[in-house]
Structure 1
Amino acid sequence: MPSAAERTRTLVQSTCSAVLLVPGLEAVGPDQLMPLARSVGPDGDLFLELPADSPVVRAATHAEDDELTAVLEITDVAPVSVPHRIRGRAWVSGWLTTVPGLSGPGRTTLRLETGEVYVDDLWGAQDVRPEEFRDAVPDPLAGHETELLQHLHAAHGEQLATLCGLLGERSAGHCPAHPPAVVPLALDRYGLRLRLCEDRGRCYDARFEFPDPVRDVVELSQAMHTLFEAAAR
């Protein structure tokens, strides 16, 4: 399974929505606290680009002794329609300072020095040490996950349903007489997670691991083919 540090790093560098929580700016609208872009530096600190007139930029510019604390909250929502759609959240807290000269006109880059990291997602809740976050690598499929899940949902629904047969005793009473609705929920280099929803509204997740971790979409295609072949036997 991906480590908590890898999962958090993936969320930070993904397109998931994010908002900066800054003491004293609680009344500011969320749209004014959303970074336009974000990246992670070699030391594990976050670089966040915001409009130059953002309240966060003004607060960081006028902070005394560079002691403006902040939390970047990231919310991960499944890219396909499914019950309980929020897949997880991550929080990176630390200290904000301005970084001159990195942004174009009308924008300002802020540096969030990473102090504490926490993730609560489909795998569970866990603290992440800053050095673990710094050294972690995002999942190689993260940039393609949205389109891949949407494609699986739209074009391979029947094949996904056949994976129910790989669940063994857990699928007793459900497949094939009363098959649940099957929705692809999450994808990473280690495997595919499906959400199965029964007609009475009960949902549960099933995880299907690949024979080996995949490094790109080509290897993913081969791994999915192996899964579907196993389900067809």
Structure 2
Amino acid sequence: MPSAAERTRTLVQSTCSAVLLVTGVEAALSDQLVPLTRSTGPDGELYLLFPAASPAVRAATHAQDDELAAVLEITDVAPVSVPHRIRGRAWVSGWLTSVPGMAAPGRMMLRLEVGEVYVDDLWGHGSAEPEEFAGADPDPLVAHETELLQHLHSAHGEQVSGLSGLLGDRVPDGSAAVPLALDRFGLRVRFTGARCFDARFDFPEPVSDVTGLRRAMHTLFDAAGG
């Protein structure tokens, strides 16, 4: 199971939507507080790119040496059509400063020094210290998960449904199976119909890239077919 720090790091480096909540600018339109890009620095700090006219930039610039509290809220939505599509949320809170000279004209880079990390997702909820977040690695499949899940859903729906054979009597007749989440440890499928529930199908061993994933998926499908 990935740690809370790893899960949050994965969400930060994913394509999930995010909004920066800044003390004193809560009344701003939410789309004005969505970073154009986000990345993680070597010490775990977050770098968030905004238009120079963003309320977040104005607040960070005016704060100068004062500590400006802010929270990056990330919402993870399943990339396939499925009931209850929100897979989780993460909050990275800390202190915001502007970093002149790191962005093109008309834009400004903001730095969020991490103070606290909290995640509530399909694995459960948990928190992490800044040092744990800084030392965590994102899941190696994060850049490909959306495409892979959509491909499994559209091109391998029958095989995904066939995984129900590994669950015995747990799956009611007529249930539909939708691939919900994918990581280096395995595949999570949501079964819908008479009742809705998730099932995890673990790989024989964690995968480190798409090539290893293909082998693991073939093994999983072969087990269900046997």
Give me the TM-score of the superposition, normalised by structure 2: 0.98
Aligned residue among 188, 209, 213 for 1:216: 209
Name 2:39's counterpart in structure 1: 39
Structure 1 position 184 matched with structure 2 position 191: no
Identity of aligned residues (%): 73
SS in structure 1 of the partner of residue 65 of structure 2: helix
Please tell me whether the aligned partners of residues 74 and 89 of structure 2 are also in contact (alpha carbons under 8 angstroms).
yes
Deviation digits for residues 20-69 of structure 1 (CA, Å, limit 9, x no counterpart): 01122111101100000011111111010000110110110001523111
Superposed, 1:11-26 pairs within 5 Å as: 11-26=11-26
Structure 1 position 154 matched with structure 2 position 147: no
Superposed, 1:127-138 pairs within 5 Å as: 127-138=127-138
Name 1:6's counterpart in structure 2: 6
AA aligned to 1:189 is R
Deviation digits for residues 176-209 of structure 1 (CA, Å, limit 9, x no counterpart): xx131100000000000000001x4x21000000
Name 2:98's counterpart in structure 1: 98
Please tell me whether the aligned partners of residues 94 and 115 of structure 1 are also in contact (alpha carbons under 8 angstroms).
yes
Once the two structures are TM-superposed, the CA of residue 169 in structure 1 deviates from its matched residue by 4.2
Please tell me whether the aligned partners of residues 64 and 97 of structure 2 are also in contact (alpha carbons under 8 angstroms).
no
1: CA distance, partners of 2:162 / 2:60:
54
Please tell me whether the aligned partners of residues 44 and 130 of structure 1 are also in contact (alpha carbons under 8 angstroms).
yes
Name 1:121's counterpart in structure 2: 121
2: CA distance, partners of 1:42 / 1:229:
41
Please tell me whether the aligned partners of residues 94 and 112 of structure 1 are also in contact (alpha carbons under 8 angstroms).
yes
Structure 2: tracts of 5 or more residues without a match: none
Name 1:193's counterpart in structure 2: 188
Structure 1 range deviating more: 134-143 or 65-74 = 65-74
Name 1:226's counterpart in structure 2: 219
Please tell me whether the aligned partners of residues 66 and 97 of structure 1 are also in contact (alpha carbons under 8 angstroms).
no
2: CA distance, partners of 1:170 / 1:146:
27
Aligned residues: 226
2: CA distance, partners of 1:64 / 1:51:
18
Structure 1: tracts of 5 or more residues without a match: none
